[in-house]
Amino acid sequence: MSKQNRENISCKKIVLGITGGIAAYKSAELVRLLVKANIDVQVVMTVAACEFITPITLQALSGKPVFIQMWDGSVGNGMPHIELSRDADAILIAPASANFLAKLVHGSADDLLSTLCLARDCPLLVAPAMNKQMWENAATQRNIAQLKADGITILGPATGEQACGEVGLGRMLESDELLAAINAHFTPQLLAGKRVLITAGATLEMIDPVRAITNLSSGKMGYALAQVAADMGAIVTLISGATALTPPASATNIVAISSDTMYQAVMSHIKNQDIFIAVAAVADYTPASPSTQKIKKSDHSNDNGTLSIQLTPTKDILKDVASLPNAPFCVGFAAESENLIAYASKKRIAKLLPLIIANQVQSAMGSDSNTVTLIDDVGTHPLPTASKTELAHGILNHIAAMF
């Protein structure tokens, strides 16, 4: 498959260059994450990098031989510096040492990796990693400015504790941050500058201080949508109920555990939003009078141990947002156990939504993958079973086209 035909991020091919530096240990985890994301990874190391991490480790993780030497007869015409970049969608250098950055600036080609970068016909991204004084040195800053002027993407560095014991700017970004940067690099900026508000996760409606009414929503779909929307260039606000997930660093993250606090959070942030995606599984009912003290089982020994809880309806966040003057483009989710399309379509019409995403609760709740159907004024648009990240791309592409 040629790189011109690899439109899906999960089909991309990356050449990962590793230079000499203690941060090379992070590259092993980066390779693991890239492979897990179904990105084809070809590792190229400098001789110095081999002092910090072994090629066999990276070969085991990538499933491919690691290239180090300029002259390698195992590659087609014996010229890996040409062959390796021709089928690559990008080259990522992580870690990129101060020395290697200087080589890039001056077009030095004295080893396989530097020659590969000079002979490339694909984008080059570098993740610097070095001591803070090396990073702050005027020579390094001149080199960084020149690399940016040359169209090379600089990822990081981050601030934190360094291997030398000092604290400051110069740490290589973490592996998950680099994976997110790769995804963002390949994602068309269909939502550039648009403000997107997303709700995710389950709500907790307290019965007493230790018990609550909730549901099985994991928040994975909402979090995937938040990350992909940010990758598409959107300014994302994520309002999250209960979940065990790590919020995306590229979004403004707000915690709202109950249906009422989520309602208040949405209404206080909805102004000037372009798109509202209501993914959170918000409780339809909440206890009318939650107990301020833990309810004891012994308190009900005279009525056969039964306990009655009076419930009252919660506010309908999505309906109220869609009813606002100058409402944003509103997208709802319908999780049903039967009559999926009929019930979801009825919900879309009742709430005056341009788009609703229908999915079966049996397969949606808590899983890493799902099968959904998009329903709009035109009709139904089923998406095949896929990971929630892949579905997020499909959903947001459709939203961008409608919007």
pLDDT in tens, 96-152: 999 999 999 999 889 999 999 998 989 999 999 998 889 999 999 999 999 999 999
**What pLDDT is attached to residue 1?**
44
> C-alpha angle with apex 101: 99 to 102, nearest 5 degrees?
65
> 367-399 pLDDT, tens per residue?
788 899 999 999 999 999 988 988 999 999 999
**What pLDDT is attached to residue 2?**
47
Residue 122 falls in the annotated catalytic set: no
Q: How far from chain centre, in Å, is Cα 279?
A: 16
Answer whether residue 295 shows pLDDT above 90: no
User: What is the rounded distance in angstroms from the CA atom of residue 282 to the CA atom of residue 94?
Assistant: 42
Give the class (CATH, top level) of 195-293+303-402.
alpha beta
**Cβ atoms of residues 254 and 238 within 8 Å:** yes
Q: How would residue 301 be classed by pLDDT, with cut points 50, 70 and 90?
A: low
> pTM (2 decimals)?
0.75
For the chain, give the percent of residues with pLDDT over 90. 68
User: What is the rounded distance in angstroms from the CA atom of residue 218 to the CA atom of residue 220?
Assistant: 5
Higher-scoring residue by pLDDT: 298, 226: 226
Q: What is the mean pLDDT of residues 265-292?
A: 95
pLDDT, averaged across the chain: 89
Answer whether residue 7 shows pLDDT above 60: no
CATH of 3-186, one of 3.40.50.1820, 3.40.50.300, 3.40.50.1950, 3.40.47.10: 3.40.50.1950
Q: Out of 61-70, 155-164, 182-191, 271-280, pick the least confident.
A: 155-164
Higher-scoring residue by pLDDT: 354, 297: 354
Q: What is the mean pLDDT of residues 356-366?
A: 80
Q: Out of 23-27, 55-59, 335-339, 365-369, pick the least confident.
A: 365-369
> 166-201 pLDDT, tens per residue?
777 888 999 988 988 888 888 888 999 999 999 999
User: What is the rounded distance in angstroms from the CA atom of residue 369 to the CA atom of residue 77?
Assistant: 42
**Cβ atoms of residues 398 and 378 within 8 Å:** no
Q: Which of 50, 117, 164, 330 is catalytic?
A: 164
- Count of CB atoms situated within 10 Å of the CB of 6: 16
- Count of CB atoms situated within 10 Å of the CB of 343: 15
Answer whether residue 333 shows pLDDT above 90: yes
Closest C-alpha to 88, from 164, 161, 19, 3: 3
Q: What is the mean pLDDT of residues 262-280?
A: 97
Kind and range of the H or E run holding 261: helix 259-269
Domain span(s) for CATH 3.40.50.10300 in the chain: 195-293+303-402
Helix (H, G, I), strand (E, B) or coil at 335: strand
Tallying the residues shown for the chain, one arrives at: 403
Helix (H, G, I), strand (E, B) or coil at 174: coil
3-state helix, strand, coil in the chain (%, to 5): 35, 25, 40
Domain span(s) for CATH 3.40.50.1950 in the chain: 3-186
Q: What is the dihedral angle through the alpha carbons of 72, 75, 79, 82, rounded to the nearest 10 degrees? A: -140
Which class for 95: exposed (0-12), middle (13-18), buried (19 or more C-beta within 10 A)? buried
Token digits for 169?
Answer: 């700017």
Answer whether residue 73 shows pLDDT above 70: no
Q: Integer distance in angstroms from the first to the last C-alpha of the chain?
A: 32
Q: Are strands 235-240 and 211-213 parallel, antiparallel or unpaired?
A: unpaired
For the chain, give the percent of residues with pLDDT over 70. 91
Token digits for 364?
Answer: 């949606």
**Cβ atoms of residues 128 and 96 within 8 Å:** yes
